[in-house]
Amino acid sequence: MNILDRLKSGITTDSVEATHKIAHELAEHLPDEAILTLEGDLGAGKTTFVKGLAHAWSIQEAVTSPTFNIYNIYQGTRQLAHMDAYRLEESPDIWDELMLEELIYPPFCLAIEWPSKLPFIPWPITHRLHLTSEGRKRTVSLQ
């Protein structure tokens, strides 16, 4: 069973390394221009998942939550733009204000945490992921 089929059923992990492994597997199946949304409560593992993507693309920089920066851009074998929309206000001009379109180029992955805080996403979404946590266990599923 491939990673997409497994994610449709939900994959439960009990370690950071196992969550990274899922992200690494998904990274291998993404198109050159990928938009991922990551929904889940605080502490559900969204940034941990993005760190797994970064590892898959040989990104050497430490990946941190971009809560206050809004987004961070990393370069490896693929560009990774990691966005946290939690603190954004619903503005119809938000994408123009962020200027992301001018900063990302293929092959790239835009990983958006808290996408429900955005009024819209101007590109087709490749995959919508939902993350949940219960104690040390994390579940990643494809919606």
For residue range 78-93, what is the model confidence (pLDDT) as tens digits?
999 999 988 776 666 6
According to DSSP, residue 142 is labeled E
For residue range 38-90, what is the model confidence (pLDDT) as tens digits?
999 988 999 999 999 999 999 999 999 887 788 899 999 999 999 998 877 66
Q: Among 28-37, 108-117, 118-127, where is mean pLDDT lowest?
A: 118-127
Pick 20 or 136 by higher pLDDT: 20
Q: Do 26 and 53 form a contact (C-beta atoms < 8 A)?
A: yes
What's the predicted TM-score (pTM) here?
0.90
Q: Do 55 and 71 form a contact (C-beta atoms < 8 A)?
A: no
- Do the strands 137-142 and 127-134 form a parallel or antiparallel pair, or are they unpaired? antiparallel
Q: Which amino acid, 61?
A: E
CATH, range 3-142: 3.40.50.300
- Spatial neighbors of 114 by CB under 8 A, at least 6 apart, are 38, 39, 84, 85, 86
